[in-house]
Structure 1
């Protein structure tokens, strides 16, 4: 597998950006692969949480090692602290990621599939929110996964005051009293997608039973299931911590329709 740092210019944000990409390549680690195996390859967009960036998944988990025998690309972008959202201060991070980034990927990596059934998205904490939000907002992704996701549909979501003050949240989402039913309310977005009678993404969510977002996940997933989504919801002992996310990212790989191959002992 190749691990690439890609510096590119975002016309939407008007600034240089960075993404990390894990890309399958022909090598003696996978002697059975052919050039044909590395065309139209599936892709998983992997989103970071509030304290992370485009490099955090490779620094704190085994993602590169886990996929080195599975022909799948991993794209890891950054939203800074903007919650995968078009902010109130004029920085359209959501548009940059959901509209502009896939076009950039298609240009830079033509071997990565543009087909919906081969495009997946996942994230942790803030990135879990972003993954569901992006999957509900368009038809690009056929599978979406959340690990310890901040699946917010209420301005008084758990951890709000501990993470940042009201000025920060208003800069991201605007008037918090108007958050329910807005373009940032993932329950509202899920409703709108289901009402349009479009193909719905399959969803996976895991939350640790000691996580401060546990009740939030239970409530939100129940509402999403009631809308007709195919949701795999799993819980187990665990906290809001990389120790668990490192383990659960492999569970996501097993859940995706990619013929995931567990690692053999390779030098």
Structure 2
């Protein structure tokens, strides 16, 4: 198969929500003389996948640690990878409003710089790993901007009950990023509470995908959350297989998510 080309843009921009300079990496499909299949009509109103990073990563991680660019090279889709630091995609207690910056402001900025990217809900998707998986679900469930949301090893329960997750940072850190941890049941950071609010408003649910490895320290949290959603008659696609909290598995299951999304994924030709 002839290879299409993707443009990679490293973009610095100013966030009014954070009142600071921020970064994102962007992949865009590109017309080339060698491959005229992607004409102007095909590259208008193109779908977009927002990819969110985890606690120890940044906006470059999906490009550096997975096959992402190679896997999407034959699909007319944009990929947006923002930097959210260690924020848990929250409006933090220390005054940096990362939820507003990523969930609300970022899609507006993306469309301002790249008007060929669709603003239609059915063409906007979001995905993340670990903290990013939590962020993807939180943003998709608390807004009406995304029609599909996927999480790999999603850190779905930052309530303080997972001792391994808790051990990664000090209590001062957790108090800074997770609002109302002392009343997590009714907290805006509690995904189950966000789901129940969405149901109460009779809003359309995004389609959901989840993967977590059985050897992952987040496995029980994933299983519990999927069971909670099932009890609310919300279906979640995906699977639990052997695997750890590791980029090897996130890279492997990235392709499963691309196949799951309504983007006409074209797999690589593999002879073995």
Give your verdict on TM over 0.5: yes
- Equivalent pair of 1:221/1:233 in contact (CA under 8 Å): no
The residue that corresponds to 2:79 in the other structure is 74
Which runs of structure 2 are paired with 1:126-141 in the superposition (5 Å)? 126-141=131-146
The residue that corresponds to 2:3 in the other structure is none
The residue that corresponds to 2:166 in the other structure is 161
| Deviation, structure 1 residue 47 | 0.3
Where in structure 2 are there 5+ consecutive unaligned residues? 1-5
The residue that corresponds to 2:256 in the other structure is 251
Give me the TM-score of the superposition, normalised by structure 2: 0.94
Which runs of structure 2 are paired with 1:15-94 in the superposition (5 Å)? 15-27=20-32, 30-94=35-99
The residue that corresponds to 1:205 in the other structure is 210
| Deviation, structure 1 residue 29 | 6.1
User: C-alpha offsets along residues 7-46 of structure 1, whole Å, 9 cap, x if unaligned?
Assistant: 1000110000000000001125643221111000000000
Q: 1:227 to 1:105 in 2, by over 3 A?
A: same
In 2, distance between residues paired with 1:18 and 1:163?
25
In 2, distance between residues paired with 1:10 and 1:154?
28
Give me the TM-score of the superposition, normalised by structure 1: 0.96
| Deviation, structure 1 residue 156 | 1.4
| Deviation, structure 1 residue 158 | 4.5
- Equivalent pair of 1:206/1:234 in contact (CA under 8 Å): yes
Q: 1:217 to 1:50 in 2, by over 3 A?
A: same
Q: 1:111 to 1:64 in 2, by over 3 A?
A: same
| Deviation, structure 1 residue 252 | 0.5
User: C-alpha offsets along residues 230-266 of structure 1, whole Å, 9 cap, x if unaligned?
Assistant: 311301110000010111111100000010111348x
In 2, distance between residues paired with 1:29 and 1:57?
28
In the alignment, structure 1 residue 239 sits paired with structure 2 residue 247: no
User: C-alpha offsets along residues 88-131 of structure 1, whole Å, 9 cap, x if unaligned?
Assistant: 00000000011110110110000000000000000000000000
Corresponding residue SS for 2:103: helix
Corresponding residue SS for 1:38: coil
- Equivalent pair of 1:5/1:21 in contact (CA under 8 Å): yes
User: C-alpha offsets along residues 47-84 of structure 1, whole Å, 9 cap, x if unaligned?
Assistant: 00001000010000010110000011000001100110
Q: CA RMSD in A?
A: 1.3
User: C-alpha offsets along residues 160-185 of structure 1, whole Å, 9 cap, x if unaligned?
Assistant: 33211111100112452222211110
In 2, distance between residues paired with 1:154 and 1:167?
14
In the alignment, structure 1 residue 196 sits paired with structure 2 residue 201: yes
2:233 to 228, 231, 238: 228
